[in-house]
Amino acid sequence: MAATGLTQDAGWEIGVSRTLPQPPAAVWEFISGPEGLALWLGAGARLTPERGAPYTTDAGIGGEVRGYRPGERIRVTYGDTTVQATVSAAAGGRTVLRFHQERMASAGERERRREHWRRVLDRVAAALDAPV
């Protein structure tokens, strides 16, 4: 039996999600914009929404866009891993925001990234709740 989070194809992976009270379009606009990208990819992250486009953060972490489906999903390489942010509609006009990361090296890295993504969701929720 495989360890939790260890896949045959993608190594160690983790996924976290949260249902937010905002509509999908508002959550998408935030996470795909400069402020949202900075929260989940790192300060200074700017993405060109096309497959193969490179990006870097102010911290020097970079990768390339692997998939970009407007209003729905952004998938990028992030160092040696792959990260995906997904927005989907939930009942009552709410939104489920999911972050998924794969190709991590160990169970320890998986747990550290789980905590990281939980903090990211906390910060996204707080930013979306802040008065405009």
Task: Give the pLDDT confidence score for residue 1 in this predicted structure.
Answer: 44
Q: Is 31 helix (H, G, I), strand (E, B) or coil?
A: helix
Q: What is the mean pLDDT of the chain?
A: 92
Q: Looking up tokens 């972490």, which residue turns up?
A: 61
**Which among 114, 120, 41 is positioned nearest to 79, based on CA atoms?**
41
| Angle, CA of 73, 95 and 52, to the nearest 5° | 10
pTM of the model: 0.90
Strand bridging mode 94-104 / 73-78? unpaired
Would you tell me how many other CB atoms lie within 10 Å of the CB of residue 76? 24
Task: Give the pLDDT confidence score for residue 2 in this predicted structure.
Answer: 54
Task: Give the pLDDT confidence score for residue 131 in this predicted structure.
Answer: 72
Mean pLDDT by 10 residues, the chain (132 residues): 64 94 97 96 93 94 95 95 97 97 92 96 94 67
Task: Give the pLDDT confidence score for residue 5 in this predicted structure.
Answer: 65
